[in-house]
């Protein structure tokens, strides 16, 4: 990956925000730039002072050299040779702006000025004590001048004054500063390059850890991170892999327990349905036949004059008991569900429920009504309807209910709604009926959704795969 692509990936906000690599590179770059700036500032403070001191030494050295050279011409009263020495000194030293010689009485002997000697130069600076040499800084239109005084024969024959300009010194300083800035830029580039290589090597496994963590968050427990070197990231990768292995084992244990629970629940429900069927048959066959015989005998008894009123009462009681037994038998295991299918069973149950509770209701079927579903699926949808309507009778105070069964497509849709008093589905209150419905639907990979409000009734939406 190129440096530009890497930097774009590190700074991209939809992945890692301002990434750790970019942060480390920025920190390294900032430290390098700070050190470079401190170095430049230190150079700007100390270098002019050092160069100024060197220029002072040089000015004094040039002045002493001139004093030595002009001693003989000055003692022999040869001002022309003195002027030539001064001109030669200025020609061979580009920094020399002027040079002049004063005799022992302070009179001007020779100078290098072409437009006349500036008399204020003699009074612009204080002269050194007798017998001493020094260098003073004078301000001029050309900038600072380093004015040096050298004695001729210890001052007995006069003195020489030489002025050196700082222009060459400042040019040198600017050149050094440009070099420093260029060095700083190169150092920053080198820091970015070296930091990029080092940080990329150190943090190469961070994106892999991020991707692996995201995969685990999505439920993929097969992902693993290459351990790599045994550094902090290596130990982190090993800890991550161990965590994923532990999660996978925990998931397997949970899956096994869930499978065992589902199998046990399936057996319980199957045994419950079988027991209901057995009780239903016994109620229908044995108790029903006994009550039927009782009713027939009471009818024969009614034909006589004696006990006719009592026999009629007993016959009506036996008829009511027989109807209750038959209803109980149908509720336990309706024969119509096995014989004619889910649609007929739902319609019969809805009619019985409406008549028994005084609630109007309707059943609407979408699709082929003659199509049969797998027996476990028909039983589940029938029991779900039973439980839902039982809740309507117990809690809703509804005046009407409706059942819609959609047999089209790969998913069978069942909707049970009422216009009664609803409830808040988000409230932490789970009834036994709803729990039973959820458990039954889980066995056939179905799901349910509840829409309800305190004044808007309740609607139960059920969806199960056709199987």
User: Does 296 or 429 have the greater pLDDT score?
Assistant: 296
How high is the pLDDT of residue 99? 93
The better pLDDT of the pair 42, 326 is held by 42
Rounded to 10°, the helix 232-282/308-332 angle is: 150
Compute the average pLDDT of residues 330-341.
73
What confidence tier does 148 reach under pLDDT thresholds 50, 70, 90?
Answer: very high
What does the pLDDT look like over 302-312, one tens digit per residue?
666 555 666 67
Read off the pLDDT of residues 163-194 as tens digits, 9 standing for 90 and up: 998 888 778 778 878 887 888 788 878 877 87
Q: Which residues contact 116 (CB under 8 A, 6 or more apart)?
A: none
d(CA 8, CA 31): 22
pLDDT at 160 over 90: yes
Nearest of 112, 114, 116 to residue 98 by alpha carbon: 112
Residue 15 pLDDT > 50, yes or no? no
CA distances from 89 to 153, 161, 202, 356, 373 (A): 19, 12, 64, 133, 120
The yes-or-no verdict on residue 223 having pLDDT over 60 is yes
3-class SS at 206?
helix
Q: What is the pLDDT of residue 142?
A: 78
Edge-to-edge order in the sheet of strand 447-453: 360-366, 400-406, 411-418, 457-465, 447-453
Average pLDDT along the chain: 80
CA 136/CA 241 separation, integer angstroms: 77
Greater model confidence, 57 or 432? 57
Kind of pairing between the strands at 360-366 and 400-406: parallel
Q: pLDDT at position 10, please?
A: 43
Name the band, by pLDDT with cuts 50, 70 and 90, for residue 7. Answer: very low
- 351 vs 362: CA distance, rounded Å: 8
Task: Please list the alpha-helical segments (H only) found in 161-231.
Answer: 167-202, 206-217
* Strand (E) or helix (H) holding 204: none
Name the 3-class secondary structure at 149: strand
């Amino acid at each position: 990956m190129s440096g530009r692509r890497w930097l774009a990936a590190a700074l991209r906000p939809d992945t890692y925000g301002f990434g750790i690599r970019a942060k480390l590179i920025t920190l390294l770059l900032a430290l390098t730039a700070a050190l470079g700036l401190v170095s430049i500032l230190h150079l700007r403070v100390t270098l002019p002072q050092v160069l100024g001191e060197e220029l002072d030494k040089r000015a004094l050295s040039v002045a002493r050299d001139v004093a030595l050279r002009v001693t003989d011409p000055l003692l022999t009263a040869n001002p022309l040779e003195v002027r030539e020495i001064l001109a030669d000194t200025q020609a061979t030293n580009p920094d020399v702006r002027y040079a002049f010689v004063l005799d022992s009485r302070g009179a001007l002997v020779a100078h290098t000025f072409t437009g006349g000697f500036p008399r204020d130069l003699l009074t612009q600076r204080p002269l050194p004590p007798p017998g001493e040499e020094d260098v003073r800084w004078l301000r001029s239109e050309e900038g600072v001048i380093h004015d040096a005084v050298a004695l001729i024969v210890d001052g007995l024959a006069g003195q020489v004054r030489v002025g050196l300009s700082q222009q060459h010194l400042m040019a040198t300083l600017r050149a050094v500063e440009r070099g420093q800035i260029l060095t700083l830029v190169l150092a920053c580039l080198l820091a970015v390059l070296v930091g990029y290589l080092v940080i990329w090597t150190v943090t190469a496994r961070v994106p892999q850890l991020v991707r692996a963590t995201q995969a685990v968050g999505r439920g993929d427990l097969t992902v693993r991170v290459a351990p790599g070197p045994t550094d902090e990231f290596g130990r982190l990768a090993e800890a991550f892999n161990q965590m994923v292995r532990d999660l996978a084992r925990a998931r397997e244990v949970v899956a096994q327990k869930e499978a065992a629970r589902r199998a046990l629940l399936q057996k319980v429900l199957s045994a419950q349905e079988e027991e209901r069927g057995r009780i239903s048959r016994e109620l229908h066959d044995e108790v029903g036949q006994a009550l039927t015989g009782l009713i027939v005998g009471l009818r024969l008894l009614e034909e006589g004059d004696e006990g006719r009123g009592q026999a009629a009462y007993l016959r009506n009681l036996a008829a009511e008991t027989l109807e209750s037994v038959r209803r109980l038998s149908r509720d336990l295991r309706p024969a119509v569900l096995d014989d004619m299918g889910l649609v007929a069973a739902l319609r019969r149950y809805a009619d019985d429920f409406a008549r028994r509770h005084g609630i109007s209701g309707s059943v609407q079927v979408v699709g082929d009504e003659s199509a049969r579903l797998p027996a476990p699926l028909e039983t589940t949808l029938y029991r779900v309807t039973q439980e839902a309507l039982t809740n309507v009778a117990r809690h809703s105070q509804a005046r009407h209910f409706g059942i819609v069964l959609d047999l089209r497509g790969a998913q069978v849709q069942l909707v049970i709604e009422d216009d009664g008093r609803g409830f808040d589905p988000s409230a932490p209150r789970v009834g036994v009926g709803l729990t039973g419905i959820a458990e039954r639907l889980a066995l056939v990979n179905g799901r349910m959704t509840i829409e309800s409000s305190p004044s808007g009734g309740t609607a139960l939406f059920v969806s199960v795969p056709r199987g």
